[in-house]
Structure 1
Amino acid sequence: MDFAICAVAALPVRKLPAHEAEMVNQVLFGETMEVLEKANTWYRVRTLHDSYEGWVSSLQLEMIDELTARIGTTYVTAGPDLGDHILFNEVRMNLPMGSSLPGLSNNLFTVGKANCNYISGNAISPKDVKPSEELIRSYVDDWLNTPYLWGGRTMFGTDCSGFTQVIYKLLGVALPRDASLQATRGEAVDFLEQVQCGDLAFFDDGDGKIYHVGLLLNSSEVVHAHGKVRIDPMDGAGIVNAETRLRTHKLRIIKRYL
C-alpha cells in the first residue's frame, strides 16, 4: 500500500478524478493519507486523521512510507491564515492555520523528499495545549468573516464542520470531518445552562438528519459557518440570525470534547 503527504498549502479533495469535479474536502499541508487507487495523475485516497475518502491530484503530493505517515502530527501552525511561513526546497510557502509540521526540530523538517525550513509563525504542539476560553476565543476571532465554502477547511473558505474540525485540531482533539459524525463523539450536555466555551451544538433538518454544527462561546452565543463564519444568538430551540432575527437552525444536541 502506498502513502502520501500533502505538499501544498491546501489540497482539494474531489468527488471524481477531475479538476472540474465537486470539491468535498481539503487536506492541509503536512496531513497524510493512504493511496487506495490510481487513475493516471489522480489518486483516490483516505486521510489518516479522519478516514475521509476522495480524489486528489498526485502532482500535489509527496510519497512517504507507512511508518512516516502514521507517526502523527508533531506540531501544528496556529498563526492567523498565512501567518506561518516555511521554505519548501528553498522556496517560500505560506501555510493556513492547522497545517501539520511533521517531525519539526530546530525549525527543520521534511515532507517526502522535500526539505523544509520553518521561518516564521506560531507552531504549537497540540498534545501540550491547555484549552481555555481565552485560547478558544482567540482562534475564533481569527476565523470570523471567513466565507462559507463547501468542503473548505481554511480561512479563505470553510464549511461548518471544517471550521470546527480545524479549531479542535489546534486544541489537540481529532474530530471526524462531517457534522453528523462529529455528533457521535463527546459527552452530551443536557441543559443549555451547563454549556462551556468550546462545546459543539448540532442542528438537524426536517427529517431529523444532523447537517450543521457550531461552536458555542457560552449558553447564548454560537459561532458557525453560515454564509460566512459569524456569531449568532442561540436559545434552547436553535440559532437566530443576528441581523434578520429569523430562526435559521433547529438545535438537536450539544456535545463536549474537552
Structure 2
Amino acid sequence: MPLAITIVPIMPLRSEPSHRSEMISQAVFGECLETETVTPDGWVKVRMQYDGYEGWVTLSHLETIPQSLYDALPTHRVARWQAVVTLNGRPVHLPFGTLLKLGAGDWGRATVVAGEGITPFAATSSPGEAWEAVALEFLNTGYLWGGKTVFGTDCSGFTQTVYKILGIPLLRDAYQQAAQGETVSFLQEVRPGDLAFFDNPEGRITHVGILLNDQQIIHASGKVRIDPIDNQGIVSADTGERTHQLRLIKRLF
C-alpha cells in the first residue's frame, strides 16, 4: 500500500470523494498516511498514520514517500501561531503545533527547508506543567467541524492537537478519546489537564474539553473558550445557561 505525506498547510479529510462532501477531519503539512483507492478524477481513500482515521483527500495534496520517512518520529514543530517552511523553493505557511519530520528521510520529489518559528520537537517530560500554555494558544479560535488547528477547530480536534504537541497520543473523536486513560471519579479530584466528556440526551458522548481546575474548562464550543463547570456540566460564562451535561472525566498524564 503506497505511503504518502501531506504537502499543503491544511488538507481536508472528507467522508466521500467530493469537494461537496462533509469534512470529517484534517491533516496538516507533514502528516503521513497510507493510500488505498485512487479514483480517475484524483480522489484518494487514505488512512492517517497518527490516529487511524479514514477519509478521502485529493491527490494534489500528497507526495509519495518511502517507508523510512513514514516510520520516522517527528523532529521539529511550529512553535508560534504560524511559521513558514519552503517547499521546492516556495513558501508554505503552517499553523501552530504542526509536527515535522525534517532531516528524517526522503520526501520524494519534495524539498522542505525550515524557516523561523520551527523548533526541535520532543515529547515533554512534564505535560502537567506544559499543557496550559499550549491550550491557551487556541483561545478564540473559531469552531470548525472537522478542524484541528488554530485557524479553526472542533472540540476533539482541539484536545487531540494540544495533547499531540505534548507527545501524548489521542484518537480523533470525542467518543474515542473517552475510551482512553484512567477514570477520575469526582470533579473535585481532577488535576489540571484532565479531559472532561459530555453526552447528549441519548447518552452518546458528543463533546470534550480540558479542565483548568475543578471549576473551569477550556473547550471548543462556538469558539475555543473558558467556561465554568460543576458536577452537572458546563455553564456558559456569557449567558449563565447550562450548555453541556457532564458524563465522565479521564486522566492521561
Alignment-mate amino acid for residue 115 of structure 1: T
Q: TM-score, normalised by structure 2?
A: 0.95
Give the Cα–Cα distance (whole angstroms) in 2 for the partners of residues 49 and 27 of structure 1.
10
Cα displacement string for residues 127-183 of structure 1 (whole angstroms, at most 9, x for unaligned residues): 3453233x2222122101101000001111100000000000011011100000000
Query: What is the percent sequence identity of the aligned residues?
Result: 44
Length, aligned pairs only: 252
CA displacement at 1:99 relative to structure 2: 1.5
Q: TM-score, normalised by structure 1?
A: 0.93
Q: Do structure 1's residue 113 and structure 2's residue 112 form an aligned pair?
A: no
Alignment-mate amino acid for residue 5 of structure 1: I
CA displacement at 1:191 relative to structure 2: 1.5
1:59 counterpart SS class: helix
Number of the residue aligned with 2:43: 42
Which residue among 222, 240, 249 is the counterpart of 2:244? Answer: 249
Cα displacement string for residues 91-146 of structure 1 (whole angstroms, at most 9, x for unaligned residues): 111111222211447xxx7533211111111424233453233x222212210110
1:145 counterpart SS class: coil
Alignment-mate amino acid for residue 120 of structure 1: E
Give the Cα–Cα distance (whole angstroms) in 2 for the partners of residues 74 and 52 of structure 1.
23
Give the Cα–Cα distance (whole angstroms) in 2 for the partners of residues 95 and 54 of structure 1.
22
Which segment drifts farther, 70-79 or 116-125?
70-79
Give the Cα–Cα distance (whole angstroms) in 2 for the partners of residues 225 and 21 of structure 1.
23
Give the Cα–Cα distance (whole angstroms) in 1 for the partners of residues 235 and 124 of structure 2.
36
Gaps of 5+ in 1: none
Q: Do structure 1's residue 11 and structure 2's residue 7 form an aligned pair?
A: no
**Where do residues 61-72 of structure 1 align in structure 2 (5 Å cutoff)?**
61-72=62-73
Alignment-mate amino acid for residue 192 of structure 1: L
**Equivalent residues of 1:50, 1:175 under 8 A apart:** yes
Which segment drifts farther, 232-241 or 112-121?
112-121
Which residue among 141, 159, 167 is the counterpart of 1:146? Answer: 141
**Equivalent residues of 2:76, 2:118 under 8 A apart:** no
CA displacement at 1:72 relative to structure 2: 3.2
Alpha carbons of 1:112 and 1:128: their partners in 2 closer, same or farther (altered >3 Å)? farther
Number of the residue aligned with 1:30: 30
Gaps of 5+ in 2: none
Number of the residue aligned with 1:51: 52
**Equivalent residues of 2:102, 2:112 under 8 A apart:** no
Number of the residue aligned with 1:21: 21
Give the Cα–Cα distance (whole angstroms) in 1 for the partners of residues 51 and 45 of structure 2.
15
**Equivalent residues of 2:233, 2:242 under 8 A apart:** yes
